[in-house]
A and B are shown apart, each in its own frame.
Chain A
Amino acid sequence: MKTLAVGTEKGSYLLRHDGEWQVSGPQFPGWKVTAFGRAPDGTYLAGLASNWFGASVHRSPNLVEWEQVENGPSFPDGMDRKLKQIWTFSTNGDTLYAGVDDAGLFRSDDNGLNWAPVEALNEHSSRKSWYPGAGGMCAHQILHDGPRMWVGISAVGVFHSEDNGASFERFDSGVPPTVGPDEDETTAEGWCVHGLTADPENANRIWRQDHRGVYRTTDGGDRWERIEEGLPANFGFAIGRDHASGSLFVVPLEADTNRLPVNGRLAAYRSQDDGDTWEVSGKGWPEAAQFTGVLRKSITLDQVGGVAIGTTGGTVYLSEDTGDTWTALPFAFPRIFALASL
């Protein structure tokens, strides 16, 4: 991992590895930096939010000079729906997507200069029954496979499109809703998906860190099955996959009422059998208790063995060998919202 962008409560920071890790920043001092991405032409993207001002998209050719987009994602004037945060960027061919809070999906066909709402999702017929979780009501994860798309919205569920976003259906069968009896899947709302990752060689294989557990599907989301053997808790936010090895990573937290590592034992857990079983990922985790969490966008993989997680306490843990050994980088950051290997 050569360059790691760290988005925090107070600005963003760049970590560059050239013999040893060097830090620069903050960029956007005083702003929350909530998402990073790349446009189809390679332009770097950052999502900013603020305790005072609005949420905005910024573009850069070099991670140094940034310019705010004039026609960024926005809900129509006069609507009580507010754009509070940019949660994620993704690309599919020449199209760039952004997921936001209040839950919405936007697309850009000019590398992020101009954005338009994806009406089929933003105005979905079920929207009147959507409601937020503790982190807001956010579209935070977007997966693509040609014309197929999956969008994770908290605390609503996973929406699937077969037609490039022209229509969406919710795909949560097998996952209990966040509120209500475990087996009640008849309710129309309330699936709090926290994270998604998919196999690029077979997009029907998707893994899901949910409010209510860890799941996988092998049929594109028609049916989800629980996969938690070996995990100390089934709650958590971050999930990622190293595609070459197939290794999966999650960071279990005790419960939604106490979003901290179980007994303070902070560690990523790794599965090397598609989620059948999990164990602590390698060595290098702190011996001392760590009362800190890992948020959903605070995991990144460079797909050549590098895996990094960032904590709400401001520490970045890094593995360069697909999770066999981990090192805590020697920097302390504000609360980490987002990590990206760039």
Chain B
Amino acid sequence: MARAVVSLPRLLEPAVGAVRKVEVEGDTWGEAIASLLRRHPTLRVHLFDEESRLRPHVMCFVNGQQTRLEDKAVVLSEGAEITFLQAVSGG
């Protein structure tokens, strides 16, 4: 099972406090996200909608490549860096 690190934006402080990095594990991207949500269940409503899709104004990068996490079966590489950011929007 691979280990990865998830980076969270400071804007999510109301959900997770001062946490910015979360170590997760899994064989796939989907398992890594499930690991993240087990550790911080309050993130689910902020990152994903009711149809489990990444929210439109949330961006996700895996090892620097942007993804909408639509294919959760992608193999998670050891030491992967998963980054969530809010999109440049809002006013």
Contact = CB atoms under 8 A, between A and B. Distances in A.
Is A bound to B? yes
26 contacts: A28-B14, A30-B90, A31-B11, A50-B11, A51-B90, A52-B11, A52-B55, A52-B89, A53-B11, A53-B12, A53-B45, A53-B86, A54-B46, A54-B49, A54-B55, A56-B15, A56-B45, A56-B46, A58-B14, A69-B42, A70-B41, A74-B50, A75-B50, A77-B52, A78-B50, A80-B51
Interface string B36-56: 000001100111011110010
Interface in B16-72: 41-42, 45-47, 49-52, 55, 57-58
A56 B51 contact: no
Given A51-B89, A68-B42, A70-B41, A56 B52 contact: no
B48 to A, nearest CB: 8
A30 B90 CA distance: 9
Given A51-B90, A52-B87, A77 B50 contact: yes
A53 B51 contact: no
- Interface size, B (range): 20 to 34
A81 B50 contact: yes
Given A28-B14, A58-B14, A52 B45 contact: no
A78 B87 contact: no
- Which 7 interchain pairs have the tightest Cβ spacing? A53-B46, A54-B45, A51-B90, A52-B86, A52-B57, A68-B42, A54-B46
Interface string A20-55: 000000001011000000000000000010111111
B46 A50 contact: yes
Interface in A68-89: 68-70, 72, 74-83
